[in-house]
Amino acid sequence: MPYTADPDFESFVRDLPKTETHLHMEGACPYELLKQMDPVKYANPPAFWADDFRYESFDQFMVWYGEYCAAFFNSAQRYHEAMKIVLGNCVDQGCRYVETSFHLPVLLGMEDSGPTLIDAVRSAAPEGLELRIFAGMCHDDYKDAGLELIEECLTWEGLDGIDLHGPEYIPLESWTADIWQRARDAGKYTKAHAGEFMGADFVDLVIDEIGAERIQHGVRSVEKDETVQRLVKENIALDVCPISNLKLAVEGVTTMSVHPIRKLFDAGVKVTINSDDPFFFGNRLSEEYYALNQDLGFSKKELTQIAGNGFDIALVDEGARQKLKDELAGYCADRIDS
Ligand SMILES: [Zn+2]
């Protein structure tokens, strides 16, 4: 684990009511389940858990995803088993609300349907946890059977939203704007990954062209003042994953101490912190909080504001939001000297 904290800070972070809004199911695969599946192949912890490990590229990350996790996710039952552990961990770390996505085209290789997968994941959530389920798709997935699946997912009642992910450098295709609009018309929330491997212009593009309501990562928005200002003005939040950015060597993130989240936060952008693909980064959500405190000077009060941002953007009704925010305010009154 790259980050540890003293017992006081550790308990402050653990008990802080918080959210996780950028979590890929497949990238969160619990190691113990992989070991059960194939004790020989997974005998040793993967090299990418080392603190100083850096991926050479996003392509390398995807190759290793294929090697390590793809074989596991072959049924709705497997998703259920994995998410039972993952969501249990979220609750242990103080999460009250979680948004998590599965890679939609995985269904093409499975006998189970999308609604069955969604039910299996939903039934894995511990009682009391608010869970929202997203389907993620790549820029070039709208073809052949993938096209039908994308059209179909807009009708799945249990699906809360859609997310654009995968390599950012693949050009945005014209189907995306239409699907993102129709998803919103069908009551789904729309996100997009941007500003991780492409710059601020791509963040602008997914907002302007497909109307993404929230950005996953978005850290390279910092490269352009106008983009930062519009995020503030239009109240578009960024679900940031600092340790993921460091290990994937995102441009501008050479060390945690220069991570753009400090500038974005100070400029008034609504940011949350999240773990992204914890299996591939060896991180826990609590470590994201330690990292911001230790390397970027975020105080307990500022971290509380970040946790509160998660409740601001949560897809819940106003009564539920107020309850969550009241709980957080009560916690801060008890735990933070002002
Ligand atoms: Zn992501």
Residue 255 placed within a domain: yes
Residue 270 placed within a domain: yes
In this prediction, residue 334 carries a pLDDT of 86
| Whether residue 83 has pLDDT greater than 80 | yes
Q: Ligand 1 mean position to 333 CA, how many Å?
A: 33
Cβ atoms < 10 Å from Cβ of 155: 10
Specify the pTM.
0.97
Q: Ligand 1 mean position to 275 CA, how many Å?
A: 9
In this prediction, residue 228 carries a pLDDT of 98
Residue 38 placed within a domain: yes
Q: Do 221 and 195 contact (CB within 8 A), yes or no?
A: yes
Q: How far apart are CA 290 and CA 293, in angstroms?
A: 5
CB burial of 195-209 (b: ≥16 within 10 Å; e: otherwise) equals: bbbbbbebbbebbee
Residue 75 placed within a domain: yes
| Whether residue 1 has pLDDT greater than 60 | no
Q: How far apart are CA 224 and CA 192, in angstroms?
A: 19
In this prediction, residue 205 carries a pLDDT of 98
Q: Ligand 1 mean position to 166 CA, how many Å?
A: 8
Residue 2 placed within a domain: no
Q: Do 182 and 154 contact (CB within 8 A), yes or no?
A: yes
Residue 214: strand pairing partners:
191
99-111: pLDDT as tens digits: 999 999 999 999 9
Q: How many whole angstroms from its chain centre is CA 38?
A: 27
Q: Do 131 and 125 contact (CB within 8 A), yes or no?
A: yes
Residues 6+ apart with CB under 8 A from 156: 114, 115, 118
Residue 199 placed within a domain: yes
Mean of per-residue pLDDT scores for the chain: 96
- Of the CA atoms within 13 Å of residue 211, those in its CB half-sphere come to 13
Q: Ligand 1 mean position to 164 CA, how many Å?
A: 9
Residues annotated as catalytic are: 196
- What is the share, in percent, of the chain residues with pLDDT greater than 70? 99
Q: Ligand 1 mean position to 276 CA, how many Å?
A: 5
Which CATH number goes with the domain that contains 202? 3.20.20.140
Structural domain containing residue 44: 7-335
Cβ atoms < 10 Å from Cβ of 154: 17
Q: Which two tokens stand for residue 123?
A: 């039934």
187-222: pLDDT as tens digits: 999 999 999 999 999 999 999 999 999 999 999 999
| Whether residue 336 has pLDDT greater than 90 | no
Residues 6+ apart with CB under 8 A from 185: none
Residue 140 placed within a domain: yes
Q: Ligand 1 mean position to 317 CA, how many Å?
A: 25
Residue 70 phi/psi, 5-degree rounding, is: -55, -40
Least confident of 24-28, 65-69, 96-100, 263-267: 65-69
Q: Do 87 and 54 contact (CB within 8 A), yes or no?
A: no
Query: CA dist 52 to 2, 55, 113, 123, Å?
Result: 8, 10, 40, 37
- What is the share, in percent, of the chain residues with pLDDT greater than 90? 92
State the average pLDDT over residues 108-121: 98
pLDDT bin (cut points 50, 70, 90) of residue 338 is low
Query: CA dist 101 to 125, 133, 154, Å?
Result: 14, 6, 15
Between β-strands 238-240 and 271-273, what pairing exists: parallel, antiparallel or unpaired?
Answer: parallel
222-252: pLDDT as tens digits: 999 999 999 999 999 999 999 999 999 999 9
> Which residues have their alpha-adjacent CB atom under 5 A from ion ligand 1?
276
Q: Do 222 and 262 contact (CB within 8 A), yes or no?
A: no
| DSSP-derived 3-state class of residue 255 | coil
Q: Do 93 and 14 contact (CB within 8 A), yes or no?
A: yes
Look at the chain and report how many structural domains it folds into.
Answer: 1
249-302: pLDDT as tens digits: 999 999 999 999 999 999 999 999 999 999 999 999 999 999 999 999 999 999
Q: Which amino acid is at 66?
A: G
- Of the CA atoms within 13 Å of residue 55, those in its CB half-sphere come to 24
Residue 274 placed within a domain: yes
- The gap between the terminal CA atoms of the chain, to the nearest Å, is 31
Q: How far apart are CA 321 and CA 316, in angstroms?
A: 6
Q: How far apart are CA 96 and CA 267, in angstroms?
A: 27
